[in-house]
Structure 1
Amino acid sequence: MARYTGPSCRLCRREGQKLFLKGDRCYTDKCAIAKRNFAPGQHGQSRKKVTEYGLQLREKQKVRRFYGISESQMTKYFNMADKMRGITGENLLKILELRLDNVVYRMGLASSRAEARQLVTHGHFLLNGVKTDIPSLLTTVGDVIQVKDRSRNSEKFKSLVENHNGNIVPWLNIDLDALKGTIVAEPTREDIDIPVEEHLIVELYSK
């Protein structure tokens, strides 16, 4: 399935909550949820009966949209999670958190996951000293992600550092002065702040 290229705000409205897909705009009055908190389309404001399958599907779509992944990627990650020890739903979220583009976003070196994916694709980052331009690459404990030297002085990264939210990510050691982050542990469910009921996704794929 091709990547969605339409208006990001429609995705938030479809899920009925902020997915924070547009960075700083999501925190202002311009946010679509603040203006029109109902599903897009001519029937968006009509009441619809939600089935069990519908609830499960919405949770899956919500996760896909949070992380900006395709249906085939979602299926691949679920199969990986299902083969791992532990709780499948939590394993799935852990895998998604360890994607390179998400790690860059968690480091505060991008205002959204979409922007992080673009910056990685454009070759601004090194993984363990090697230029990497694959946003979906899965990182692991001990990996070091940093902005390459030629990109360090760009206005984009200067602005991101100046406006850094200061959030602490327990599984990351972030050095803003060096524009570098080290993965010091695997993320736990408590570290993942996205509002999703992952057990519904497991139920959907287990049918």
Structure 2
Amino acid sequence: MARYSGPRLRIMRALGVQLPGLSRKQWDARKPYPPGMHHGRHRKKLSVFGTQLQEKQKLRFNYGLGEKQFRRVVAMSFQKRGNPGENLLQFLERRLDNAIFRAGFAPTIPAARQLVVHGHVRINGKRVNKPSFLIKAGHEISLSEKASKFTHVEASLENPAIVRPEWLGVDAAKKTASVVAVPDHESVPFPIEINHIVEFYSK
């Protein structure tokens, strides 16, 4: 399945949650029903499978991954020692495009991904153009001189989409971010029932 490029608010309404990585626009919680002409006033109770699928989709859409990409990250999470659910959330938070977004260099993860793939991001002074690159403690993230002057970068730094996490030390003036710790599963900025996702892929 290709990466989603349709209406983002529609996805958040369908999943019933604000996904900050997907869009800065606010999902209207006063409309607690999925989009569509024939909606009811309340959401139908989901089956166990439906609940598991919904939780998986929250992660997939927030971090902007296609189905195959997401399955690869899940496979890595099960192969790594420890809790596969916590491993999964940590892998997603450690992605370079997410780190760019969480530092406030971009308004969304798709916008952060564009900075990365166009060669505007440096890790310890070296250009990295893979959004899936996994950051670690000790890395310093910086932008190219050209990107540091982009209007949307400056606007995002002045008004970040969400509160910056403790695992990033950001110097907004220099447009750099230091990874001071490895993000953990509690770093995800929206509610997620990770056990449902583990069960979904354990079948």
> 2:194: which partner in 1?
198
1:166 is displaced (CA, Å) by 8.2
1:180 is displaced (CA, Å) by 0.8
4+ runs deviating over 6 angstroms: none
1:34 is displaced (CA, Å) by 4.5
Which string of whole-angstrom CA distances, capped at 9 and with x for unpartnered residues, describes residues 107-140 of structure 1? 0111111221122222221122122222122222
> Which amino acid is 2:200 matched to?
L
With a CA cutoff of 8 Å and minimum separation of 6, indicate the structure with the bigger relative contact order: 2
> 2:153: which partner in 1?
157
CA distance in 2 between counterparts of 1:19 and 1:168 reads 15
> Which amino acid is 2:159 matched to?
N
CA distance in 2 between counterparts of 1:164 and 1:22 reads 12
> 2:62: which partner in 1?
66
> 2:39: which partner in 1?
44
Q: Which structure 1 residue ranges, 5 or more long, are not aligned?
A: none
Structure 2 counterparts to residues 1-207 of structure 1, below 5 A: 1-20=1-20, 21-23=22-24, 25-26=25-26, 31=27, 33-34=28-29, 36-45=31-40, 48-164=44-160, 167-207=163-203
CA distance in 2 between counterparts of 1:120 and 1:17 reads 27
1:103 is displaced (CA, Å) by 0.2
Provide closer, same or farther for how the CA distance between residues 98 and 47 of structure 1 changes in structure 2, counting only shifts above 3 A: closer
SS in 1 for 2:132: coil
After TM superposition, the score normalised by the length of structure 2 is: 0.89
After TM superposition, the score normalised by the length of structure 1 is: 0.88
- 72-81 or 122-131: bigger deviation: 122-131
SS in 1 for 2:142: strand
Which string of whole-angstrom CA distances, capped at 9 and with x for unpartnered residues, describes residues 157-179 of structure 1? 22222224683422112111211
CA distance in 1 between counterparts of 2:129 and 2:102 reads 17
- 182-191 or 162-171: bigger deviation: 162-171
CA distance in 2 between counterparts of 1:94 and 1:57 reads 20
> Which amino acid is 2:88 matched to?
L
CA distance in 2 between counterparts of 1:112 and 1:47 reads 28
CA distance in 2 between counterparts of 1:131 and 1:150 reads 13
1:43 is displaced (CA, Å) by 3.8
CA distance in 2 between counterparts of 1:36 and 1:164 reads 26
SS in 2 for 1:102: helix
SS in 1 for 2:14: helix
CA distance in 1 between counterparts of 2:166 and 2:46 reads 37
